[in-house]
């Protein structure tokens, strides 16, 4: 069985992440979307909340499992008998970072392949950081995240669903 691991912080899980997961699942017998429990960046949601967001998003999608892990992704991949790590690429800056990580992972685990999927066009601009900023400012999240993730963001920020878009000069765009 060819198993792949799609690791990330997924804070929150976006439609871009879901797109990569669904496409990667077509390439492998099983895909594990693995939430990293202790990322170095500040997270809005706990590991359990992020894993539940992933689980709900992939519910009913054949061959995809939601999990969480701590430690090195290559070690977790080995423990799950994965043959590949899946990563999504949006821009050249993503490639530079992911290339460095892939080379280090190959050094740590030579038999584990890095598999990169280019993001689908509707999600080129999408990032979890941008989604959080829009949600914090009460902006629309239509098409950016699954419905249950939008609800979690609205509850976290205390903003009603479908609020007005953020002011053009406010926050990141």
Residues 76 and 9 in one domain: yes
Residues 87 and 114 in one domain: yes
Residue 165 lies in a domain: no
pTM of the model: 0.89
Residues 78 and 30 in one domain: yes
Query: Taking 50 as the threshold, does the pLDDT of residue 107 lie above it?
Result: yes
Answer yes or no: 17 catalytic: yes
Answer yes or no: 167 catalytic: no
Residues 149 and 112 in one domain: no
Using one digit for the tens of pLDDT, what is the confidence trace for 44-70?
999 999 999 999 999 999 899 999 999
**Residues 6+ away with beta carbon under 8 Å from 106:** 112, 114
Residue 167 lies in a domain: no
- Can the peptide bond before residue 169 be classed as cis, meaning omega within 30 degrees of 0? no
Residue 141 lies in a domain: yes
Q: Count of domains in the chain?
A: 2
- CA neighbours within 13 Å on the CB side: how many for 151? 8
Query: Taking 80 as the threshold, does the pLDDT of residue 171 lie above it?
Result: no
Query: Taking 80 as the threshold, does the pLDDT of residue 18 lie above it?
Result: yes
Residues 48 and 12 in one domain: yes
pLDDT band at 92 (very low <50, low <70, confident <90, very high): confident
7: left (phi over 0), alpha (psi -120 to 50) or beta: beta
CATH number of the structural domain spanning residue 17 = 3.40.50.620
> Which residue range is the domain that position 98 belongs to?
3-123
Residues 46 and 115 in one domain: yes
Out of 50, 73, 128, 132, pick the active-site residue: 128
Query: Taking 80 as the threshold, does the pLDDT of residue 165 lie above it?
Result: no
Residue 168 lies in a domain: no
* Number of other CB atoms surrounding residue 107 within 10 Å: 9
- Minimal CA–CA distance to 19: which of 61, 51, 50? 61
Residue 173 lies in a domain: no
Residues 114 and 46 in one domain: yes
Q: Tell me the average pLDDT across 133-150.
A: 97
Residues 100 and 72 in one domain: yes
pLDDT band at 173 (very low <50, low <70, confident <90, very high): very low
Residues 69 and 108 in one domain: yes
Residues 105 and 67 in one domain: yes
**Residues 6+ away with beta carbon under 8 Å from 158:** none
Residues 115 and 75 in one domain: yes
Residues 36 and 93 in one domain: yes
Q: Which pLDDT does position 160 carry in this prediction?
A: 57
Q: With contact defined as beta carbons under 8 Å apart, do 114 and 156 qualify?
A: no
Alpha-helix runs per DSSP H in the chain: 15-25, 47-58, 73-79, 92-108, 128-136, 147-157
Out of 9, 17, 73, 132, pick the active-site residue: 17
Residue 99 lies in a domain: yes
Measured CA to CA, the distance from residue 33 to residue 66 in angstroms comes to 5
Query: Taking 80 as the threshold, does the pLDDT of residue 114 lie above it?
Result: yes
Out of 90, 136, 148, 156, pick the active-site residue: 90
Choose the final residue of a domain: 123, 140, 166.
123
């Amino acid at each position: 069985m060819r198993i792949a691991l799609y690791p990330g912080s997924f804070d929150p899980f976006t439609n871009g992440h879901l797109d990569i997961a669904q496409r990667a699942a077509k390439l492998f017998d099983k895909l594990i979307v693995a939430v990293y429990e202790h990322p170095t960046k500040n997270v809005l949601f706990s590991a359990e909340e992020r894993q539940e967001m992933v689980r709900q998003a992939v519910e009913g999608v054949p061959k995809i499992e939601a999990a969480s892990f701590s430690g090195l992704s290559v070690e977790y991949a080995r423990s799950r008998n994965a043959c590949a790590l899946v990563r999504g690429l949006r821009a050249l800056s993503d490639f530079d970072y992911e290339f460095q990580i892939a080379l280090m992972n190959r050094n740590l685990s030579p038999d584990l392949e890095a598999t990169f999927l280019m993001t689908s066009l509707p999600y080129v601009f999408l990032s979890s950081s941008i989604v959080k900023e829009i949600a914090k400012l009460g902006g629309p999240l239509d098409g950016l995240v699954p419905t249950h993730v939008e609800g979690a963001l609205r509850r976290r920020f205390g903003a009603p669903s479908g609020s007005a878009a953020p002011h053009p000069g406010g926050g990141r765009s």
